Structure 1
Amino acid sequence: MALRGFSAGLEPTIRNVFEAPSPAALSRLLDRDPSPSAPAHLVPFRTGGPAAPVFCVHPLSGISWLYSGLLRHIDPGHPVYGIQAEGPGGVADLPDTVEAMAERYLGLLRAVRPSGPYHLVGWSFGGLVAHAMAVRLHELGEPAGSLFLVDTVADTEAGPEQPIDDQRIFRLLLTAAGLDGERFASAELDFATVSALLHQEGSVFARFTEDDIGRVIAVSRHNYRLARAYRPPRYPGDATYIEAAANAPRRVPHHDLWRPHVGGELTVGHTPAPHHRVLQPQHVAEIGVQLRDLLRGPRCSAPRPAAPLPSCPPVRGW
């Protein structure tokens, strides 16, 4: 997504880009007086619509803008938000467990709509948090929305530590912008090179500063520690799991590892993209159409009910 055509005095923020659906609307947004916006943890991809809202939980990096490509596949009746890791307290105020993170994010859901159902989407680390949120919503008696997990690992034996440094984050940003990360696998990247590549692509991530990179590294390390210490509980409802293509043979498919943690029906879909590329612009439709079809189920697409409804039915034939 490019951010071009505005004077220095009207420089849009990344949040502005998602608050406005068109360049004209963005201009009107920048011209108006400042007003309160969504909570700092939320990226408002789409704020209007009578159907239950969709919340996309950040992966390890803490960046929820990666989900922006899903928006075109989600019917316009659904408000859609990304949940960012950093709030007003920054990296000094990150939750110290996945359960605490889930509890904090439930407050964001209720800031948008006081009661459910809520649809939850999580890729990678975000799937662990989305599942924990669904468990807590069930405990609180909220009507069930859909739970959509994308290539999230559960209950695996702790493997060797994987370093999270500036090189890994640089490659993550290039991959998110649709560039071939393998092209740079052996290169020693620096901020200037990565920034120039992102600007050439017209990527929203071109606005990242070196300080932004440092915060993403800190958030990623923090969430990596949480993930290694966490084992998901059992969620009594239904869930949909999207398995990505494996870079190497898997002893056990990741969706099988989730079966003990889903008490209802576990519907399994697939994407031919490998884990780190599933939300790239050229691959995101493979995920988006499966999410769209799930949300079009009769229990998911209707406006908020007056009484709790059973969870959304699984989608067949993926």
Structure 2
Amino acid sequence: CGLFADTLALPSVTIDDHFFHRGGHSLLATRLISRIRTVWDTRVTIRDLFQSPTPALLAEHIAAGGGGNPLDTVLPIRAATGRDADTAPLFCVHAVSGVSWGYAGLLPHLGADRPLIALQARRLGGTEGAPGSIEEMADDYLAEIRKVQPHGPYHLLGWSFGGLVAHAVAARLEAAGEEVALLALLDSYPLPGGFRAPEIDGRHVLTALLGSRGESVPVRCADSVPDIAELAEKLRQSDPVLAGLEHAQAAAVVAAALDNLRMRYRYVPGVRFGGDALFFDATGTPAAQPGAAAWAPYVTGRIEEFAVDCEHARMTEAEPLRAVGEVLARRLRPARI
């Protein structure tokens, strides 16, 4: 309880207090995990905290042997269990990094009975089975989603790169006769007409992963072919959330980001989604056109836009997710499956 309270900057917590309901988010979660590893010499990971988010549950989990893989493709941030097992989850698709831990910041805003299932890049686990296109990725995630929830109504969300994938999954579900009750796009834009893909060098990868912070990180491969090993070390040094990754895990994140950038730069949606969509605009990073206009060729329903006061790269930090979560809580109906 003491480690929970110290990390959350609270006077005290009880053995049954939920870390993410008391103000925890992915950055604080990684700090807590680091302190637990130091104090208890255990292999506990952020996945274990998602699975066991109270002091009592986490202590029991550690005693039984923690160490769940935090980079698995399907990551239950809040699993559907007990009385919540028939509540339709919110499925959240990763951004270019392939990692989806940040969506934990939505938990306190969605209601205690809403399962939240994150999808992470299969490339994080190696090249076997990794998709070669966004179309293949959407097919893969569709299959994983239907293992968790065989039939609708479905709720989908994606930030940046993940919005492209979420839209593709939504269109596939609709084509299969399923209901998509919610499609949320977090500062995600399809490529504009006439787009020409840039050369991807080391600096490009760092700024994709770190936002504007990546522009000033010194790196030898800044203007040349990305050096995955070098970039992995820079990522561990510069990103407080991913700092706890082992070198091989950080290298997998860089490799996934590189693959995702290449797929993103050649992707134009080949399908249209007939339902409505919610678009969340990071106002601190101006776009060439409004989200509704950018998505109009690919979404035939109504596109509602919501302004979020942040830069694009900070979209999954605590305050931006509070704004997003408040809108989602109003729109996520109490759907049963």
Matched, 1:218 2:255: yes
Letter in 1 for 2:274: P
In structure 2, the residue corresponding to 1:172 is in which secondary structure?
A: helix
State the Cα deviation string for residues 190-249 of structure 1 (Å, max 9, x = none): 777764666xxxx5522112222221121111111211221112101111111121535x
In structure 2, the residue corresponding to 1:261 is in which secondary structure?
A: coil
State the Cα deviation string for residues 91-118 of structure 1 (Å, max 9, x = none): 3431112121111111211222222222
Match for residue 292 of structure 1 among 310, 322, 329: 329
Whether the 8 Å contact between 1:38 and 1:44 is mirrored in structure 2 is: no
Q: Indicate the residue corresponding to 1:12 in structure 2.
A: 44
Q: Indicate the residue corresponding to 2:121 in structure 1.
A: 85
C-alpha displacement of 1:41: 0.8
Q: Indicate the residue corresponding to 2:55 in structure 1.
A: 23
Rounded Cα–Cα distance in structure 2 between residues aligned with 1:271 and 1:162 = 30
Equivalent residue runs for 1:163-312 within 5 Å: 163=200, 165=202, 168-169=205-206, 172=209, 182=213, 185-188=215-218, 195=236, 203-232=240-269, 233-248=271-286, 250-295=287-332, 300-304=333-337
C-alpha displacement of 1:39: 10
Whether the 8 Å contact between 1:15 and 1:43 is mirrored in structure 2 is: yes
Whether the 8 Å contact between 2:98 and 2:120 is mirrored in structure 1 is: yes
263-272 vs 185-194, which moves further: 185-194
Number of aligned residue pairs: give it.
Answer: 288
Q: Indicate the residue corresponding to 1:42 in structure 2.
A: 74
- The structure, 1 or 2, with the larger RCO (C-alpha pairs under 8 Å, 6+ apart) is 1
Whether the 8 Å contact between 1:131 and 1:235 is mirrored in structure 2 is: yes
Matched, 1:109 2:141: no
Letter in 1 for 2:278: T
250-259 vs 13-22, which moves further: 250-259
Match for residue 158 of structure 1 among 160, 185, 195: 195
The share of aligned pairs that are identical, in percent, is 32
Whether the 8 Å contact between 1:14 and 1:204 is mirrored in structure 2 is: no
Whether the 8 Å contact between 2:95 and 2:158 is mirrored in structure 1 is: yes
C-alpha displacement of 1:20: 1.2
Rounded Cα–Cα distance in structure 2 between residues aligned with 1:80 and 1:247 = 27
Match for residue 128 of structure 1 among 161, 164, 181: 164
Equivalent residue runs for 1:67-86 within 5 Å: 67-86=103-122
C-alpha displacement of 1:40: 3.1
Whether the 8 Å contact between 1:154 and 1:254 is mirrored in structure 2 is: no
1:115–1:32 Cα change, 3 Å: farther
3-12 vs 66-75, which moves further: 3-12
Letter in 2 for 1:108: E
Rounded Cα–Cα distance in structure 2 between residues aligned with 1:39 and 1:194 = 16
Whether the 8 Å contact between 1:54 and 1:119 is mirrored in structure 2 is: yes
1:216–1:88 Cα change, 3 Å: closer
In structure 2, the residue corresponding to 1:260 is in which secondary structure?
A: coil
Rounded Cα–Cα distance in structure 1 between residues aligned with 2:69 and 2:257 = 26
Whether the 8 Å contact between 1:130 and 1:147 is mirrored in structure 2 is: yes
1:139–1:170 Cα change, 3 Å: closer
In structure 1, the residue corresponding to 2:243 is in which secondary structure?
A: helix
Letter in 1 for 2:218: E
Rounded Cα–Cα distance in structure 1 between residues aligned with 2:141 and 2:59 = 31
Q: Indicate the residue corresponding to 2:24 in structure 1.
A: none
Letter in 2 for 1:5: I
Gaps of 5+ in 1: 176-180, 305-318
Using structure 1 for the length normalisation, give the TM-score.
0.80
C-alpha displacement of 1:65: 0.9
Whether the 8 Å contact between 2:285 and 2:310 is mirrored in structure 1 is: no
Match for residue 141 of structure 1 among 157, 177, 187: 177
Rounded Cα–Cα distance in structure 1 between residues aligned with 2:71 and 2:257 = 21
